[in-house]
Amino acid sequence: MKKILMGHNFKREGFKDLEGKFEMIYPENEHFKREEVLELISDINVLIPNFSFQTDKEVIDAGTNLQLIANYGVGYNNIDVDYASQKGIPVTNTPNSVLEPTAELCFALLLATARRVGYYNNKLHNGERLGWGLFDNPGLPVYGQTLGIYGMGRIGQAVARRAVASGMKIIYCNRHRLDKSIEERYGAVYVDFDTLLKESDFVSLNAPATAETHHLMGEAEFKKMKNTAILINTARGALVDEKALIEALKNEQIFAAGLDVFENEPKISPELFSFENVVLTPHAGTQTYAARLDMQREVAKNIINFFEGGEISKVN
Amino acid sequence: MKKILMGHNFKREGFKDLEGKFEMIYPENEHFKREEVLELISDINVLIPNFSFQTDKEVIDAGTNLQLIANYGVGYNNIDVDYASQKGIPVTNTPNSVLEPTAELCFALLLATARRVGYYNNKLHNGERLGWGLFDNPGLPVYGQTLGIYGMGRIGQAVARRAVASGMKIIYCNRHRLDKSIEERYGAVYVDFDTLLKESDFVSLNAPATAETHHLMGEAEFKKMKNTAILINTARGALVDEKALIEALKNEQIFAAGLDVFENEPKISPELFSFENVVLTPHAGTQTYAARLDMQREVAKNIINFFEGGEISKVN
């Protein structure tokens, strides 16, 4: 029986489909320690890493029987995919189960930041007085505004679908220009990054963390944005130079930010807590019980199909 | 020159169209005091009340030259419209300018409550530690869930448009069943109130405050809701028995609430502050600078068209 090493003490109900077919090795606590992984992995056929489970050269080399790395998540910057490819080990991810939950949180952050839901709610819960006058603490409109989406893949498009229904115009950057039929569906206009920064009322990052997207948003980029613009990041923390973002907020170069991901998770730069116009969530793009289980089911499907034949979400 | 009494120290730029055509009497402070209104009104042709400006029999009787009440807002529970009608005084409101901003805040509250943006943001801003584990503090999904809309007028439909793009199914209650073409646009199913309460994952109130909708949501109604359901109220506080809501939250009869309006504004029942699963905003449905000015422009258009001929948003 093939052996699976679990990168997290996952819920058993999400991996029911694997029962009886595989030997599943779960940690006693939330995670295995790194030394435990290195000790166990030589005997393992499938590894399931999650966001914080670093699968690097050392781990891959120690996995002398490793046949598959079945990532729990869509982003796989936690895995040395190039090295896995060199060793002929396929890596799969979970693009389907994360799609709608992540786009949903992205748009939730956009609305909460623009319409100051985070600010109002925080003040009221803390027992502070808020002016209720007609022009007290106004937010910014979403309807009629321009959303610039950096990374118009499936998640970016699911964000665009919500934005169009909310009366927004879409401009986008992407590695490749999309088919005309997709552009027409969202009325989306392909632009260069400079134009995206200059014309957007909202900039949403929906691209993976790669060498090319590292610190995509730095000092120069924030300076190009409108000072009434809002940055939304639900992709990966590495896309934003967090220090430059803090400076841009201090200098009021941008109006606000909605952030689900951070450069040094689970640490958040403490300066960000001091900005009332920043809405913060703890990498919660797929933080619903239903989505977490759906992701497990997608991992299980990748593993079963890899061994039995069938479609898998392969990234290398 | 006809005289307009301003129920608020409105922004001059929003009433530019009235300049030169009308004599505009603004308060020195934010509002006129009630006794000032009663003193001034005999000479006034047009009164512009806002949410908190009570236009009752005494005010209307004192307005011996009153020709028009041009409300600033779509809800007009601040005005004794029946009595105005008896005296032959038309009342207008601003349904167009409030439409999208209010639907937008409604959906912002729905997303922020379900996906726990309010909760996470408060914890993080207050320097509290949050678990970042895969199953820590999960929210509820929106995609695939059922939204029950009570009051499927223009705002209800603008909420439905956003909800459909977010993957929700729509059921609704309304005084009259909508045209089939409108139902089809949103895949909306007309149901009785009991069914709406029992089947909805989210209940959104989008009906005006009237004698029939007073305390629409009371003890019995909360008991009928799913204990995983969320209440969103961006209509008027009077629709919800706030004490019964507090009991329902205490007893976990419902999962959460997103509230923009309250029974005794600007007071909020302090018990509501203690619920981490309640997202609160201070009657901010139209709280953007742009929307506030648009509302003024719609008021101005009603006044001008009333005297010069043209379309007005008349409610009586």
| Residue carrying structure tokens 């992709």 | A235
Min Cα separation B140/chain A (Å): 5
Q: Helix axis angle, A117-125 relative to A95-114, nearest 10°?
A: 70
Q: Is B62 on the interface with A (CB under 8 A)?
A: no
Residues 238-297 of B with CB under 8 A from A: 265-266, 268, 273, 279-284, 287-292
Q: Is the pLDDT of residue B35 over 90?
A: yes
pTM of the model: 0.96
Residue A118 has its nearest CB partner, among B117, B144, B290, at: B117
* pLDDT for the residue numbered A244: 98
Residues 187-206 of B with CB under 8 A from A: none
Question: What is the distance between the alpha carbons of residues A167 and A114, in angstroms, rounded to a whole number?
Answer: 14
Question: What is the distance between the alpha carbons of residues B253 and B314, in angstroms, rounded to a whole number?
Answer: 40
Min Cα separation A227/chain B (Å): 16
For B241-282, the pLDDT digits (tens) are 999 999 999 999 999 999 999 999 999 999 999 999 999 999
Min Cα separation A125/chain B (Å): 5
Question: What is the distance between the alpha carbons of residues A187 and A201, in angstroms, rounded to a whole number?
Answer: 16
The SS3 of residue A265 is coil
Cβ count near B274 (within 10 Å): 11
* pLDDT for the residue numbered B51: 82
In this prediction the ipTM stands at 0.96
Q: Is B8 on the interface with A (CB under 8 A)?
A: yes
At residue B52 the predicted structure's pLDDT band, cuts being 50, 70 and 90, is confident
DSSP B167: T
Query: Which residues in chain A have Cβ-Cβ distances shorter than 8 Å to B125?
Result: 118, 122, 273, 280
Q: Is B304 on the interface with A (CB under 8 A)?
A: no
Cβ contact B114:B138 at 8 Å: no
Q: Is B222 on the interface with A (CB under 8 A)?
A: no
Cβ count near A265 (within 10 Å): 14
| Residue carrying structure tokens 């502070």 | A128
Q: Is B220 on the interface with A (CB under 8 A)?
A: no
For A269-291, the pLDDT digits (tens) are 999 999 999 999 999 999 999 99
Query: Which residues in chain A have Cβ-Cβ distances shorter than 8 Å to B265?
Result: 132
At residue B129 the predicted structure's pLDDT band, cuts being 50, 70 and 90, is confident
Report the catalytic residues of B: 236, 265, 283
* pLDDT for the residue numbered A104: 98
Question: What is the distance between the alpha carbons of residues B120 and A280, in angstroms, rounded to a whole number?
Answer: 7
**Encoded tokens for A227:** 């000072």
Question: What is the distance between the alpha carbons of residues B168 and B191, in angstroms, rounded to a whole number?
Answer: 16
Q: Taking the CA of residue A32 as centre, how many other CA atoms within 13 Å lie in the half-sphere pointing to its CB?
A: 22
* pLDDT for the residue numbered A254: 98
**Encoded tokens for A192:** 């260069």
Q: Is A109 on the interface with B (CB under 8 A)?
A: yes
Min Cα separation A19/chain B (Å): 21
CA distances (Å), origin A135, targets A130, A139, B26, B107: 12, 10, 16, 22
* pLDDT for the residue numbered A131: 87
- Domains of chain B listed by start with CATH number: 3-93+288-308 (3.40.50.720), 99-280 (3.40.50.720)
